[in-house]
Structure 1
């Protein structure tokens, strides 16, 4: 059982959207979707709820949920930088980081944090600097280019960046984020869901893109139940009418949310979805 039962949806606004982060939240530590979670997602769709995956992952990393998407099959990827139809494997819309802002961020972080390395997510893959050392990129075969950040941004791909990533070899991740925001926060949104920083266009976050997608369908924040675990989830959790942190969440996320559920390896999201669906039953 989770730490917090949450709201009584029978007496509150009827939820219409389940918006959930993936890594560290819906997915288990091994990156899998458990059988209980699969069943809960199916149950939610059958009850008329729409599941929206809201993740820092790029669109090309959405195969993990392709088998468990309901009829909507929508993912908000790259921390709000892209909306992706998982079933059709189509990019629906994107909110790229302007080239001049990316260059300003790169310059500011190079000056403030020597040793930083950069990588760039764009529609058909990614590019990185040689010093951007991360095993996360080794499995997709999507690396298109290794070059200095300034050279990548000067190319045609430079104006198609969903997300700029930054990695430092020694800094504590939270200290890295704090110092990066102080140095370059006026040029972009800077957050993280792992040791690397994730940098998006000013005004683009999981919350803004989810809010836009919902507004286009006449859905209000009060009708959204959201789940997350890391700082990049904080805007979404603040926007949603009902927000849950999983038990394994970052301390900032646990402190910012009223409702908590079991950790991702104990199917905390599924536990809440089951309760939400029960509350919808006559």
Structure 2
């Protein structure tokens, strides 16, 4: 079993949301807020509206943030090839953290020209162990394999994603040392169960797999996302910030689902969307309105106003 490099998230107790529910005050608990240098935002259910569009208001807010000297990172569970929805809206460095922290991708160049800057893969031996342990703990689980440039799945895996898989085969065959795509890093394994409650499946998966991998979820269905040990949105964001000399206190983060919890806990300021999962609300230090009401833009506009 091989561990990836680990970055431990800072821990803190989330502060209670201010009244009204939108917590964008320049002060929390009477202490002055550090001016932000980086905004880290999830995409689906957060920056994107439910129709997967980026609203004109949000586009303008992102541009204003970078014009004010605040870097913007898209931090998502999506693979790089699903980043076309925001490729036209990148500014400055144009980097995104994809696959729940498994890869950092340069979005410049547009669709089809994305370049992997950093990869934090899931070792094949860890992947095989995780698949076997989860099969034993939750019979009926089916799998898909996400790699840097390929997507493969088991025949019984449902059509949940945007594309047709490159290969259909049992996960153990896909993950074999000489299996299809063996020359590419594994970014994450997707595990789907047709009957279990999503949160119960997440708890079961984490107990079954232990430290062999990181398990989270971002879908409303019982779909788990399995990454390398210590790999998360938070740990990869921390690496990127350290490279830029940015502290966690200088980061403002946004999210809506359990795969955002570590990032929201790590960031100096964090906002749960109005449509967020209860675990996200508990982890964040503030709240904003729902994704369909441009909750990210609402906060960014206030942040920019506070800097003037």
TM-score of Structure 1 vs Structure 2, range by shorter chain: over 0.9
Once the two structures are superposed, the pairs formed by residues 4-19 of structure 1 within 5 Å of their partners are 4-8=22-26, 11-19=32-40
TM-score (norm 1): 0.95
Contact 2:37–2:246 under 8 Å retained in 1? yes
**Does residue 57 of the first structure (1) align with residue 78 of the second (2)?**
yes
**Does residue 209 of the first structure (1) align with residue 231 of the second (2)?**
no
1:271 CA drift (Å): 0.2
Once the two structures are superposed, the pairs formed by residues 55-94 of structure 1 within 5 Å of their partners are 55-88=76-109, 89-94=114-119
- Tell me, which stretches of 5 or more residues in structure 1 are unaligned? none
Counting matched residue pairs gives 278
1:206 CA drift (Å): 0.2
- Tell me, which stretches of 5 or more residues in structure 2 are unaligned? 1-18
Q: 1:33 to 1:2 in 2, by over 3 A?
A: farther
Determine the structure 2 residue equivalent to 1:276.
303
1:250 CA drift (Å): 0.4
Quick one: distance in 1 between partners of 2:41 and 2:173?
36
**In the alignment, which of 22, 39, 59 is matched to residue 38 of structure 1?**
59
Determine the structure 2 residue equivalent to 1:185.
210
1:258 CA drift (Å): 2.5
Determine the structure 1 residue equivalent to 2:266.
239
Q: Which has the higher helix share?
A: 1
Determine the structure 2 residue equivalent to 1:225.
252
Q: Secondary structure at the match of 1:68?
A: coil
Deviation above 2 Å: which 4+ runs of structure 1? 4-7, 9-12, 156-159
**In the alignment, which of 156, 181, 199 is matched to residue 157 of structure 1?**
181
Determine the structure 1 residue equivalent to 2:200.
175
1:267 CA drift (Å): 0.3
Contact 1:2–1:271 under 8 Å retained in 2? no
Backbone CA RMSD of aligned residues: 1.6
Q: Secondary structure at the match of 1:120?
A: strand
1:7 CA drift (Å): 4.3
